[in-house]
Structure 1
Amino acid sequence: MDIGDLVSDALKYPLSDWTKILMLGIILVIAGIGNISRSFMADSTLISVLGIIGFIVGLLGYGYFFKIIKSSLAGISELPSFDEFVTMFIDGIKVAVVGFVYSIPAVILILIFAASIIISLISNPSSIPIGALIGAGIGIILAMLYMLIITPIIAVAVANMAYNDSEFSAAFRFSEIFDKIGTIGWGNLILWYMVTIIVYIVIAAVGGIITGLFSLISPVLTVVLMALIVTPYLQMYVARSVALLYSSQDVIYGSQQTGTAHSK
């Protein structure tokens, strides 16, 4: 497997259709409307309502991310259409739940150490013992390390779900997932992960600098442009690269196949 070819394909993939980048961007802007509205609204109830609406719409974003993976696994080199919204929404829920379930250990760690601080405050409201603060810091670091390690495995788990026709349980068939990682190669998985992090940081930084110029007009405009262009591009890149990595033993990168299904 050539990671360079994989990355090259995934970087070019979103650029094949700017309209779809903008369509996904609109979904992501609406998904973040709750946070954006905090900059110019004071009504907490309205902000909460917008946040709920944004969360629901954001699931469509997850659904399209999943649709890219399925489409790429089928050997299709074009961005998938924005249609079948009910299916996209359901798939988005599945992706969100998979991510949450795999993240539970990190959540538990944070809750445990947060609870220790709360208990310390209740017993002594005037100050927080240094031990509780150190413990909380350790908990956050451990949670971050766990997420750093588990993220590439979550990516393969989601791809495994896509490969198995959106079967939710496929994301938790651990022996199947680890067998697939063994086929890909742990070294290749780690290399892909490191390259993806670098690509993500570089593109986000460059996009942030360019869109940051619009902060002279309005800070909100910078946030909107990031969500409208940069973030959807990165999500498309990650989805495409995950699919290519998962099927790296079966596909030729950059192929122009237009099939709609894979054979298992």
Structure 2
Amino acid sequence: MKLKEMLLDSFWYSVSDWKKLIILGILLVLLDSEGGFSGSWALNGLNVIIFIVILILGVLEAGYIFRVLEESVEGSKKLPKFNRFHEMTVHGLKELVIVTVYFAIPLFLFIMFLWGSNTSADITMAGFLIFIVLMGIIYILFPAVMLNMAHNHGTIRSGLDFRAIIRKIRYLGFRDLVVVYTGMFMILGIVKLVLTDNLSTLPLMGDLISQLLIAPFVLLFTTRMLGLMDKE
């Protein structure tokens, strides 16, 4: 599939079901909410409940987005339904584990680097640069990680199968994967920023459109685009 066809497909796919788009937007709004966290945790047990609810919503959101990716690589042309919540939860938890494993590695190495060396400014800067490089490598690897999981029913093992992940990168083309995936995020990020700034003149309506429509659209679009790059 050519790039133009992938872009058009991803656009129409993302807006094909406004009900599902808005439901995803509501999830994102609730996840961004910080109003419930105030006061002392010891004195306000409501904070604990709010945290648990937000964690559950985050897992469901991750599970749904994984389903979008999984069904996209299988050739589906419709947004998946918000059902089979047990399956969504399991996939969301698995994705959370994989994200934690991958992005905790450079953070752990950075902390160990600083802990095992003198805390001079030069060494600290060198450690920080190494941390940035490792994060960049993982950022490049991660789309292939998610695609490999999508082809293997979301198993944690497939998310850590480095040989299969490297083969996936070679199959997709390292340059194409980096250019398309990074460029896509940059362009959509700029579009979202411009639209959000323009809508800020409409305090209530602008926030509503941005959070309920633009944010979920960007998420669906990028996920669909990634799935089409490796469609079966």
Equivalent residue in structure 2 for 1:188, among 169, 176, 179? 176
| Aligned match of 1:173 | 161
Q: TM-score, normalised by structure 1?
A: 0.75
Q: Distance in 2 between matches of 1:204 and 1:136?
A: 35
Q: Deviations over 1:207-253 (max 9, x none)?
A: 321442344x69xx83x654322221111112111111122xx4xxx
| Aligned match of 1:199 | 187
The answer (yes or no) to whether the contact 1:109–1:142 under 8 Å persists in 2 is no
CA displacement at 1:48 relative to structure 2: 4.9
Instruction: After superposing the two structures, state which structure 1 stretch, 228-237 or 70-79, moved more.
Output: 228-237
Q: 4+ runs of 1 displaced by more than 6 Å? A: none
- Structure 1 alignment gaps of length 5 or more: 121-128, 251-264
Give the 3-state SS of the residue equivalent to 2:153 in structure 1.
coil
Q: Deviations over 1:76-95 (max 9, x none)?
A: 11111000011101101111
| Aligned match of 2:8 | 8
User: Aligned ranges for residues 3-152 of structure 1 at < 5 Å?
Assistant: 3-33=3-33, 35-37=34-36, 41-42=38-39, 45=44, 46-112=46-112, 131-132=120-121, 135-152=123-140
Partner letter of residue 105 of structure 1? Answer: I
Distance 1:229 1:139, change over 3 A: farther
Partner letter of residue 103 of structure 2? Answer: S
Q: Distance in 2 between matches of 1:86 and 1:235?
A: 22
Give the 3-state SS of the residue equivalent to 1:213 in structure 2.
coil
Q: Deviations over 1:147-197 (max 9, x none)?
A: 233223211111211111222211111111111221111121122123222
Equivalent residue in structure 2 for 1:227, among 203, 211, 215? 211
The answer (yes or no) to whether the contact 1:98–1:158 under 8 Å persists in 2 is no
Distance 1:136 1:17, change over 3 A: farther
Q: What RMSD in Å do the two structures reach over aligned CA positions?
A: 2.8
Specify the structure having the higher radius of gyration (Cα). Answer: 1
Q: Distance in 2 between matches of 1:156 and 1:177?
A: 6
The answer (yes or no) to whether the contact 2:70–2:151 under 8 Å persists in 1 is yes
Distance 1:147 1:212, change over 3 A: farther
Q: Distance in 1 between matches of 2:199 and 2:124?
A: 35
Q: TM-score, normalised by structure 2?
A: 0.84
Q: Distance in 2 between matches of 1:144 and 1:181?
A: 21
User: Aligned ranges for residues 145-160 of structure 1 at < 5 Å?
Assistant: 145-160=133-148
The answer (yes or no) to whether the contact 1:156–1:246 under 8 Å persists in 2 is no
Q: Distance in 2 between matches of 1:207 and 1:140?
A: 34
Distance 1:174 1:37, change over 3 A: same
- Structure 2 alignment gaps of length 5 or more: none
Find out whether 1:241 has 2:229 as its counterpart.
no
Distance 1:6 1:142, change over 3 A: farther
Give the 3-state SS of the residue equivalent to 2:60 in structure 1.
helix
Partner letter of residue 77 of structure 2? Answer: S
Q: Distance in 2 between matches of 1:197 and 1:184?
A: 18
Partner letter of residue 151 of structure 1? Answer: Y
Instruction: After superposing the two structures, state which structure 1 stretch, 53-62 or 104-113, moved more.
Output: 104-113
